[in-house]
Structure formats: structure tokens, C-alpha cells
Amino acid sequence: MKRILFALLLSAGITSVSMAQSAQYEGAMTKQIAMLDDYNNFNPQKLQELANTFERIGAAEKTQWLPFYYAGYCNVMNAFLEKDQSKVDAIADKAAADIAIADTLSPKNDEVYVVKSLIASSRISVDPQSRGKQYGMEAANWQSEAAKINSENPRVYILQGQSLFYTPEQFGGSKTEAKKKFELALQKFSTFKPASSIAPHWGERQAQHLISQIK
Amino acid sequence: MWKIINLNLFALILLPVCLMAQQKITGKITDSKKRPLPGVNIAIKDTYDGASSAADGTFSFTTDLKGEQIISVTLNGYRPFEQKINLSNPQVYNIVLKEVISQLNVVTISAGSFEASDERKGTVLKPLDIVSTAGAGADIVNALKTLPGTQQTNDREGLFVRGGTGYETQTFIDGLLVRNPFYSGLPDMPGRGRFSPFLFKGTTFSSGGYSAQYGQGLSSALILESQDLPERSSSSVGLSVIGASVGVDELSKDKKGSYGVEADYTNLGPYLDVVKSKFKPSVNPEIIGTSANFRRKTSSTGMLKFYGYGNWTHMGTYHPSLEYPGYNELFELRNQNVYTNLTYKERLGRGWRISSGLSFSSNTDDIHTDTLEKTAPTKINNLSSLTQARVMLTKSIGYYSSLRMGGEYQYGVEKGAFNSYHANYTDNYSAVFAEGDIYLTPQLVGRVGGRVEHSSVLAKTNFAPRVSLAYKMDAYSQVSLAYGDYYQKPEQQYLRFKPNMDYMKATHYIASVQRITGNYTLRVEAFYKKYHNLVKTSPDTSNGGTGYAKGIELFWRDHKTFKNMDYWISYSYLDTKRNYLTYPYEVQPDFAAKHTFSVVYKYYVPSITTFFGATYSFSTGRPYYNPNLPDNQFMTQKTMDYNSLGLTVSYLTSIKKAFTVFVLSVSNIGNFKQVYGYRYSTDKLRREEITPNIPRFIYVGMFMNFGIDRRQDVINNL
């Protein structure tokens, strides 16, 4: 009897501890993601701070993939924003390190692959002539891997659209094809339900913005 | 028991209250030079509590935690820092982060070598640069002729480097020697390289001081590293005024293996019907080329590769006879060449790596010469084959240092027939080498090694020590020194008749300074090379020749100053003399020019997706032999200066789903007269100029590549 009581008490204790942790986690993540969703924070300094915070949350939680996912996302966005080409690789490496942890914590995750695709694309700007082929292929591969896992993920189509949008026509790029992809992405957004309030949900605004640039 | 539990519960309930008192933690993060570091992640380890440092390096945050904790400080590019702190008596934390020594900050041995690689950072060239150099016609060696140290010897086969002959440059694919890297050519009309630059992910051109891994090249080594698996399957078709090509590259479903086959056919006949060459062709010049490759990942780190090619050439000319004016000399050549190369690479654990290879190659030249109606025809048949095996073990020591050791064995058969006269020999050549790249600090590396070689035909053994030193002064600049002994067997045509000769020998001394920032490269290199035991053919065939070469070379590349434009400039000053073959004493040889200068210019116009490329090369006149002059004026006369301007325009487009390039390439667009030397008749009364057979070549072609998703190829602002 005593033993059962003790066990009950113990398990109640554990539950309450993990509940407490979860509450802190959800709260912290919600707050950071709200900041990330705010377009005013889309600058290198803020993104770095957000990446740092996500990394701290990830290090404390240990088993959650989302903090590392967001840290990788913030870092890769910084890689795209970096103007000094010689620094891009180091930032992309950092993003890749974050996303590698997310990948181990949550294998075969389409959202993780989306960021992997972004990381490959970010490296092209360092030397487009030499790198275009290799990293362009790698980015495309991650896009198709992500689509295989979840063809309803709108971000996959945004990335495909972006590739078409930024590739010159003679290399197979096409603004009209890009527009179709963005429209498809927006259509997927209308039915897309993030798994939770803190699950990845970015992209709708980007798609709308890019569509508005296509006449 | 209940009491205890109640007590515990009580404690648990009260605990958060005790923790409510918040602590403020502040400090500043700097680098080792006291510069503030922004964006640093400061955390109480494994908790949510922490902050990022501001622009001035300062940070501040509050925590509910108490007691002993660990503060963790991280920033990309710096070593992570951790320290135990006691939150009961907080203080100001001023922390210095040390920079991580990245690949870019570690010195590499660079004296004497130009490397083109996508994988390694801080290289001077990219593989694409070789393909896109105007006037080079996608020939590796032609492109390398725009780099310092090389000569514009376009009348002879091979790469002439720093006062050395073409024979003194050796070509290696994945460590294995290529015995005949050039197509057989006609007299004064050298053949181009046999392999496509697209096959290689890395090209290292060493103009001296190269590693003990490689031997049997007195002057220079061209080290080619083959591609790994392709990113995807593709096929290609090429069409030009001189021929056609097709190719398939297939990546297996599991993405662990691939194979590729290629075939091309070249026929200069139709072109020469329109544009007359200096000498009338006796047959339409034809080349059939085929190649195949197979690659397989044997594990996550192991790779097995096969590469092989077979080529058939048939060409010939009528050459107005110098000896018998009014008559024609016929020179006709049939060549068959096969090269195969099988390599295997794997990590063995504990820092050991193995790379090994097997290769077989064979080359047959059937030459038919005839001064029509005047002399009896002559038939020359040369057959050479080479079988080789090579193993190299590499052991990594610490972060950067490594040790290499290995051995190779070559079995060479040389058969020569001149009409009914035969001169054949075989050679068993073996070599062992060992070399260490020892990093005393990440900025200072020394390479010490040596090579022992034995050749059965010479029945002699040599030992060649090699030493290099490189020191990195800052993130961009480094100085290097190199010294080494290089041995090489005399050429086949001499060994055939006199087998028991000695190795020729060259000793290199090189000093170089280079500065590579992201967009600029500046390199200055000075060298001194001493030749011993060069082959003399007069009065007797012997190793009595001597020589030296010294010079200074400059290289400047800039792809930043002008938008969409990239250019490089090379200048070489060469002072060389040698006494070899029939020379009576040491003179500047007939293949060496004192000043050589090249400019390579590349410009891209995005609006019309067209690349423009131009290559200008200049060299001062080369000495030539005039038999009418007395002996003390041997080779004192020089040819006119050499000028060459090549232009390439490539238009990139897509036709249906195929990535397509249209190429227009014109060599010697200014139609400059180019004289490489003079040849005299035996009676010394007549002479002829040695000039290009086709002074200006116009190439028009298109290349289509069909891939699965080609549009990913070039993304963004190309």
C-alpha cells in the first residue's frame, strides 16, 4: 500500500514537473515565434538573438526538435541577409549544425528538409558560377524529399517557386511557372493546419509578396 | 513514513518561493584583441536563462536560479567557453573568446603550385576557370598556358615549364601516371590533351617543388583528381564545325553508384575544304574518341572508381620538301591509345586512409613518311605500354598534421621499329616515398619527405629529398619556401639505343609570397633550378648535359573591381641556359622565351546571358639555330615576338528542356604572324619558317545537356 501510494505520489510529481516544463516551453516558444513572425525583427541582429534564444531553449529541453529547427531557420535567414560573401559559409554551417540536431531529434521531417534546402540555396551566393549546379541540385533534392513526406506542406512549393523565380529563364527559370507554384502554396496554406501553435507556419506572406512582383 | 513525505512535499511547495529572488547577471564579451563581440549567446547551461550580447559586447539578464551553475558562452567561429559560477554572489563577467582556427586560417603548402578546386577554400582557380578560358578550347594544358611559369610553345607537344621541356612535365590522374596525355600530332602541330576538363573536380598545376608522392618529372606535375558521383543523371549532345559528341551519365537509384560513357568524332576535312591550311592534308584528319567511367561508393567513406578511354587518330600532310625543292614530303600518322585507371579509397579508422590504384595504358603510333618520287618510303612504328600499381597510406596526426607513405611499381614496354630495324626495351620501375606535413602551429607548416626510385633499364637507384615550408602571416597572406631534387629517365628515343644511361636531375629552390582575399589574388614567386645529367647526343649519347633556369613570376587576379568581370594577369621572367642534345655549350634553348605575359579576361552580360572571354598572350622571341653562323654564335638569333589574341563568346539558353550553350571561338583573332623558329636544309641554302598550320581557327559549336531538373543549375544572379 505504502509502495503504491509512494509510486502514485512520485508519478504525480513527475507529471507536475514535466507539465511545468511544458508550460514554460510553450510560453517561451510562443513568445519567440511571435517575434520571429514580426517582420520588423527580420534583420541580422534580431535574427541572431532569436537563434541564440532558440538554442538556449533547445539545450535546456534536450528532446524538442522545434527550438533547433527555429535556430537553424533564423541562422539560414541570416546567411541570406549576409552581404559579405566570405562570411556566408560560416553562418550556413551554423544553421546546418542546428538543423542536424533537429534532424536527429525528429528524423524524416519535411519541415527540417525545407530548412536543409534553404541552407543549400544560401551557399550558392558565395560563388554562383561554380556552386550553382552543386548546391542548386542539393536544394532541389531536399525539396523533393520534403514533398515525398508531406505533399501538403505549402513551404515546399514556396521554395520550388523561389528557385524558378530567381533562376534566369535560359537556365529553366520561369516567372509564370513560379507564380503557379506560389499559387499552389497559397492554396495549400488555406487548408494547412500547423500541428500546434508553435509548429512551423511561415511562408504565406513571402508567397504573396513574390506573387505581387510577378506581372 | 508519512511525516517524511509530508516534509518533502512541504519542501517542494516552498522551494519555488525560495527561488523567487532574482539575480541579475551582467558582463561583457570581447575577443582576444579586446574588441567587443556582439551576438554572443550567453546562457546558464541547460536552462532557458541567458541573453545575447549587444553591439558593444555587453549583456545582462536575470535568473531565478541559485547556487553553483555553469555559464556557457558561444559564438559561431569562436571556441565555446564554459565556467562555473556561483549565483549566490554574482559578479560582472568579462569573458574573452578565442577564435576557432578555421580552414581558411590554416596555412597550406603552396610554393610552386596553382590549384583549381571547388572543395578546398582559398584556391586561386576554380575548375570552371579552366573550361571557360578563351582560346584554350576547353583544353586543360592550353588553359594552364595562361599561368606564370609556362611557355607559349604551341609548336611542340606538352607543357614547357620554367626552362624545362614538355617531357619534363608529367600528368597524373588520381595519383597514376598518364604516359601519353596528348593526342599524337604532326610535325610542328602538337595534339591537344586527351581528356575533357569536365571529368575533374580538382586540378593542381605545380611548376616546381612538388610532393614526394610524384616522381619522374624534372620540372612540373599536372595533378588531376577525378569527379566523384554526379549529382544526377544527364545526357549531352555536342555539335561543331569539326565534329560531334554524345555522352550519358547515369546515377543509380540508390545514389551510391554511377556510370558514364562518351563518344566523339572529329573530322577536320570539311573545315579544311573551306579554310585552307598551310600544308595540304593527305587524308582528312580524323579522331574517334570514347571514354567510360564507373564509380561506386563501397561504404560511407569508401569509393571505387574506374576511368578509361580509347582514341583513334588518322591524319597526314603533304609538306613542300626543303631538301628537294619542288617535291612533297608525306607524313601520315595512325595512332591508337588506350588508358585505364582503377582506384580505391577508404578510411581505415584511427586516422588512417588508404588510396590505391591500378592502371594499364597502351599507345601505338604508325608513321609513314615519304619524300614522294625522291626517296624510299619510311615506316616507323612505336608501341609503348605501361602497367602500374600504386598504394598510399595517410595517417592524420592531431588536427592538421599528416604522414603519407606509399609505393608504386610500373612495368613499361617500349617497342620501336624503323623500317626493318627494331629497338625495344622494357623497364621495371619501382619507387617508395614518405612525407610528413608537420604543423608546428596552425600558421607554420613544414613538409619533409623523400622518394627512392629504381629503374631496371638504367640499373640505378636514386634518392630525392623534398622539403617545403609555409608560414601564414595573417588571414590572407603567406610566404612559402621549397627545395627538392627531381629525377627523370631520359626520353625513350635515347634509352632505346643506349639503355645504361643515368637519370637526369633537377634541383629546385622556390620562394613565394601570396595574398588571397575573397576577390583578389596576388602572387610573386622566384625560383632557381639547376639541371644535371641532361642527355647529350653529340658528340656521343651521354648524360653530360647541364643547365639552369631562374626567374621571377607574377600573378594577379581580380573579380571584384568591375561588376560581372573577372580577369587575371600573369608575367614570367625566365633566364635559362642549357647544354643538351647537340648544343656545343650552354645557351638559351630554342623553346624558351625570356618574357612571357598573359591576360585572361572574362565578362558576363546578364541581360543577354552571354559570356565574353578574351585571352591575350605575348612572349619575346625564341632563339633558333642558324647553321650558317660560326659555332661561337650558336643560337644567338631570335624569332620575332609572339602575339596571340583569342576570343570566345558563349550564349547560354535553353531549348525545350535542354540547357544549351552556343560557342563561337576564334584563335589569333588579330591574325598576328607567329613564327616559332626556322628550319634549314642540309646544304644550309634554304630555310623555312615554323608557323602554325592553321594560323587562325574559327570554332562554332553548340552543346546541349539534358538533365532531370536542369533549371536548378544556375540559380540567382549568375
- Looking at residues B15-44, what average pLDDT do you find? 80
Residues B88 and B153 in one domain: no
Q: With an 8 Å Cβ cutoff, are B43 and A59 in contact? A: yes
Q: Quick one: pLDDT at residue B119?
A: 66
From CA B17, how far away is CA B564, in angstroms rounded? 65
Residue B110 contacts residue B470 (beta carbons within 8 Å): yes
What string of DSSP letters covers B334-386? EEEEEEEEEEEEEEEETTEEEEEEEEEEEEEEEEEEEETTTS--EEEEEEEEE
Strand, helix or coil at B255? coil
pLDDT band at B380 (very low <50, low <70, confident <90, very high): very high
Strand, helix or coil at B511? strand
Q: How many domains are contained in chain B?
A: 2
- Looking at residues A133-149, what average pLDDT do you find? 87
From CA B528, how far away is CA B532, in angstroms rounded? 13
Residues B203 and B289 in one domain: yes
CB atoms within 10 A of CB B117: 19
Q: Which of A207-211, B1-5, B31-35, B249-253 has the least mean pLDDT? A: B1-5
pLDDT band at B17 (very low <50, low <70, confident <90, very high): very low
**Residue B467, C-alpha cell as written in the block:** 622539403
Q: What are phi and psi of B411, to 5 degrees?
A: -115, 110
CATH number at residue B651: 2.40.170.20
Residues B36 and B89 in one domain: yes
Residues B76 and B205 in one domain: no
Q: Quick one: pLDDT at residue B76?
A: 86
CB atoms within 10 A of CB B403: 17
Q: Quick one: pLDDT at residue B449?
A: 96
Strand, helix or coil at B138? coil
In a domain, B439, yes or no: yes
From CA B2, how far away is CA B635, in angstroms rounded? 112
Q: For residue range B229-246, what is the model confidence (pLDDT) as tens digits?
A: 887 788 889 899 999 999
Q: With an 8 Å Cβ cutoff, are B659 and A171 in contact? A: yes
Candidates B8, B610, B715: best to mutate against A (most CBs of A within 10 A) is B715
Q: With an 8 Å Cβ cutoff, are B712 and A55 in contact? A: no
Residues B42 and B136 in one domain: no
Give, as one character, the DSSP assignment of residue B636. -
Q: Quick one: pLDDT at residue B18?
A: 44
Cα nearest neighbour of B116 on chain A: A130
Which residue do the cell numbers 528532446 mark? Answer: A63
Residue A36 contacts residue A51 (beta carbons within 8 Å): no
Q: With an 8 Å Cβ cutoff, are A173 and B711 in contact? A: yes
Q: For residue range B420-441, what is the model confidence (pLDDT) as tens digits?
A: 889 899 999 999 999 999 998 8
Please work out, in degrees rounded to the nearest 5, the angle formed at the alpha carbon of residue B161 by the alpha carbons of B158 and B162.
155
Give, as one character, the DSSP assignment of residue B189. B
Candidates A93, A122, A125, A129: best to mutate against B (most CBs of B within 10 A) is A129
Asked whether the CA dihedral A82, A84, A88, A91 is positive or negative, the reply is negative
Q: For residue range B551-562, what is the model confidence (pLDDT) as tens digits?
A: 999 999 987 778
In a domain, B47, yes or no: yes
Q: A91-101 in b/e burial notation, b at 16+ Cβ within 10 A?
A: bbbbbbebbeb
Q: Quick one: pLDDT at residue B103?
A: 63
Helix, strand, coil abundance in chain A, percent, nearest 5: 80, 0, 20
- Residue B9 confidence (pLDDT) above 60: no
Cα nearest neighbour of A139 on chain B: B712
CA distances from A6 to A11, A12, A19, B243, B685 (A): 9, 10, 20, 88, 118
Q: Quick one: pLDDT at residue B717?
A: 29
- Residue A14 confidence (pLDDT) above 50: no
Q: Quick one: pLDDT at residue B517?
A: 81
From CA B668, how far away is CA B706, in angstroms rounded? 33
Q: With an 8 Å Cβ cutoff, are B52 and A52 in contact? A: yes
Q: Quick one: pLDDT at residue B254?
A: 87
List the single residue in B5, B12, B711 with the smallest CB-CB distance to A167: B711
**Strand pairing partners for B704?**
B237, B660
Beta-carbon contacts of B106 under 8 Å, excluding residues fewer than 6 positions away, are B400, B439, B442, B443, B472
List the single residue in A128, A134, A167 with the smallest CB-CB distance to B231: A134
List the single residue in A13, A93, A166 with the smallest CB-CB distance to B716: A166
Q: Quick one: pLDDT at residue B188?
A: 81
Alpha-carbon torsion, ordered A78, A82, A86, A92, to 10 deg? 20
Give, as one character, the DSSP assignment of residue B389. E
- Residue A13 confidence (pLDDT) above 80: no
Radius of gyration of chain B from its Cα atoms, rounded to whole angstroms: 31
In a domain, B308, yes or no: no
A203 or A2: which leads in pLDDT: A203
Pairing of strands B220-226, B169-173: parallel
Alpha-carbon torsion, ordered B708, B709, B713, B717, to 10 deg? 160
Stated as kind and residue range, the H or E segment containing B99 is none
From CA A65, how far away is CA A76, in angstroms rounded? 16
Stated as kind and residue range, the H or E segment containing B477 is strand B477-488
Closest CA to A152 of A182, A179, A187, A197: A187
- Residue B649 confidence (pLDDT) above 80: yes
pLDDT band at A3 (very low <50, low <70, confident <90, very high): low
B81 burial (CB, 10 Å; 0-12 / 13-18 / 19+) is: middle
Which residues on chain A are in Cβ contact (under 8 Å) with B45?
A: 59
Residue B137 contacts residue B145 (beta carbons within 8 Å): no
In a domain, B283, yes or no: yes
Q: How much of chain B exceeds pLDDT 70, in percent? A: 94
From CA B48, how far away is CA B58, in angstroms rounded? 19
Residues B66 and B165 in one domain: no
Q: Quick one: pLDDT at residue A26?
A: 87
Residues B254 and B332 in one domain: yes
- Looking at residues B288-308, what average pLDDT do you find? 94
Which residue do the cell numbers 511561415 mark? Answer: A202
Q: With an 8 Å Cβ cutoff, are A60 and B5 in contact? A: no
Domain at A24-126, CATH from 1.25.40.10, 2.60.40.1180, 1.10.1780.10, 1.50.10.10 = 1.25.40.10
From CA B452, how far away is CA B465, in angstroms rounded? 9
Q: For residue range A162-179, what is the model confidence (pLDDT) as tens digits?
A: 888 887 776 677 888 889
Give, as one character, the DSSP assignment of residue A135. H
From CA B556, how far away is CA B569, in angstroms rounded? 5
Q: For chain A, give the mean pLDDT.
A: 84
Q: With an 8 Å Cβ cutoff, are A169 and B45 in contact? A: no
Cα nearest neighbour of A53 on chain B: B51
Q: With an 8 Å Cβ cutoff, are B711 and A170 in contact? A: no
B636 burial (CB, 10 Å; 0-12 / 13-18 / 19+) is: middle
Helix locations, B232-339, DSSP H: 269-274
A to B CB pairs, distance under 8 Å = 132
Q: Which of A7-16, A147-156, B1-10, B457-466 has the least mean pLDDT? A: A7-16
**Residue B336, C-alpha cell as written in the block:** 591508337
Residue B591 contacts residue B622 (beta carbons within 8 Å): yes
B466 or B199: which leads in pLDDT: B466
**Residue A50, C-alpha cell as written in the block:** 532569436
User: What is the domain partition of chain A in residue ranges?
Assistant: 24-126, 151-215
Q: Which of A167-171, B374-378, B491-495, B621-625 has the least mean pLDDT? A: A167-171
A57 burial (CB, 10 Å; 0-12 / 13-18 / 19+) is: buried
Q: For chain B, give the mean pLDDT.
A: 88
- Looking at residues B630-659, what average pLDDT do you find? 89
Q: For residue range A46-95, what is the model confidence (pLDDT) as tens digits?
A: 999 999 999 999 999 889 999 999 999 999 999 999 888 878 888 999 99
- Residue B22 confidence (pLDDT) above 60: yes
Distance (Å) from the C-alpha of residue B715 to the closest C-alpha of chain A? 5
Which residues on chain A are in Cβ contact (under 8 Å) with B50?
A: 52-53, 56
Q: Quick one: pLDDT at residue B634?
A: 95
CA distances from B151 to B99, B166, B572, B619 (A): 43, 10, 9, 8
Q: Quick one: pLDDT at residue B15?
A: 45
Q: Quick one: pLDDT at residue B523?
A: 94
Cα nearest neighbour of B656 on chain A: A172
List the single residue in B5, B43, B127 with the smallest CB-CB distance to A9: B5
From CA B378, how far away is CA B369, in angstroms rounded? 5
Q: With an 8 Å Cβ cutoff, are B718 and A171 in contact? A: yes
Beta-carbon contacts of B253 under 8 Å, excluding residues fewer than 6 positions away, are none
**Residue B155, C-alpha cell as written in the block:** 609548336
A173 or A211: which leads in pLDDT: A211
In a domain, B85, yes or no: yes
Cα nearest neighbour of A94 on chain B: B76
Which residues on chain A are in Cβ contact (under 8 Å) with B47?
A: 56, 60
Edge to edge, the sheet with strand B92-97 lists B58-63, B23-31, B92-97
Distance (Å) from the C-alpha of residue A190 to the closest C-alpha of chain B? 28
From CA A202, how far away is CA A114, in angstroms rounded? 12
Candidates B133, B705, B716: best to mutate against A (most CBs of A within 10 A) is B716
Residues B160 and B87 in one domain: no
Which residues on chain A are in Cβ contact (under 8 Å) with B717?
A: 128
Q: With an 8 Å Cβ cutoff, are B654 and A169 in contact? A: yes
List the single residue in A90, A137, A170 with the smallest CB-CB distance to B653: A170
Closest CA to B157 of B431, B301, B435, B363: B363
Stated as kind and residue range, the H or E segment containing B578 is strand B565-579
Residues B123 and B73 in one domain: no
Cα nearest neighbour of B53 on chain A: A49
**Residue A3, C-alpha cell as written in the block:** 509502495
Candidates A4, A29, A56, A164: best to mutate against B (most CBs of B within 10 A) is A56
Q: With an 8 Å Cβ cutoff, are B711 and A121 in contact? A: no
Residues B389 and B538 in one domain: yes
In a domain, B102, yes or no: no
Q: Quick one: pLDDT at residue A170?
A: 65
List the single residue in B46, B652, B717 with the smallest CB-CB distance to A60: B46
Which residues on chain B are in Cβ contact (under 8 Å) with A132?
A: 713-716, 718
Q: For residue range B595-605, what is the model confidence (pLDDT) as tens digits?
A: 999 999 988 88
Strand, helix or coil at B478? strand
Which residues on chain B are in Cβ contact (under 8 Å) with A164?
A: 711
In a domain, B150, yes or no: yes
Q: For residue range B84-93, what is the model confidence (pLDDT) as tens digits?
A: 888 887 678 8
Q: With an 8 Å Cβ cutoff, are A172 and B718 in contact? A: no
Strand, helix or coil at B546? strand
**Strand pairing partners for B264?**
B245, B289
Q: How much of chain B exceeds pLDDT 90, in percent? A: 61
From CA B129, how far away is CA B120, in angstroms rounded? 15
From CA B546, how far away is CA B553, in angstroms rounded? 23
Q: Cis ω on the peptide bond leading into residue A154 (within 30° of 0)?
A: no
Distance (Å) from the C-alpha of residue A135 to the closest C-alpha of chain B? 8
B716 or B215: which leads in pLDDT: B215
CATH number at residue B80: 2.60.40.1120
Residue B40 contacts residue B75 (beta carbons within 8 Å): yes
- Looking at residues A9-29, what average pLDDT do you find? 58
Could you tell me the residue range of the domain that residue B51 belongs to?
18-97
In a domain, B2, yes or no: no
Asked whether the CA dihedral B275, B278, B283, B286 is positive or negative, the reply is negative
Q: With an 8 Å Cβ cutoff, are B232 and A137 in contact? A: yes
- Residue B389 confidence (pLDDT) above 70: yes
Distance (Å) from the C-alpha of residue B53 to the closest C-alpha of chain A? 8
Residues B40 and B125 in one domain: no
Q: With an 8 Å Cβ cutoff, are A53 and B52 in contact? A: yes
Cα nearest neighbour of B51 on chain A: A53
- Residue A144 confidence (pLDDT) above 60: yes
Q: Quick one: pLDDT at residue B104?
A: 62
CA distances from B315 to B186, B276, B318, B526 (A): 8, 16, 11, 42
- Looking at residues B294-306, what average pLDDT do you find? 95
List the single residue in B47, B76, B518 with the smallest CB-CB distance to A86: B518
Residues B174 and B64 in one domain: no
Task: Confirm whether pTM is higher than 0.90.
Answer: no
Cα nearest neighbour of A51 on chain B: B41
Candidates B119, B200, B711: best to mutate against A (most CBs of A within 10 A) is B711
Cα nearest neighbour of A75 on chain B: B76
Q: Quick one: pLDDT at residue B118?
A: 66
**Strand pairing partners for B379?**
B368
Rounded to 10 deg, the angle between the A85-105 and A44-61 helix axes is 30
Which residues on chain B are in Cβ contact (under 8 Å) with A125?
A: 716
- Looking at residues B683-708, what average pLDDT do you find? 88
List the single residue in A49, A164, A172 with the smallest CB-CB distance to B654: A172
CA distances from A164 to A168, B611, B655, B709 (A): 8, 22, 16, 11
Q: Which of A1-10, B60-69, B347-356 has the least mean pLDDT? A: A1-10
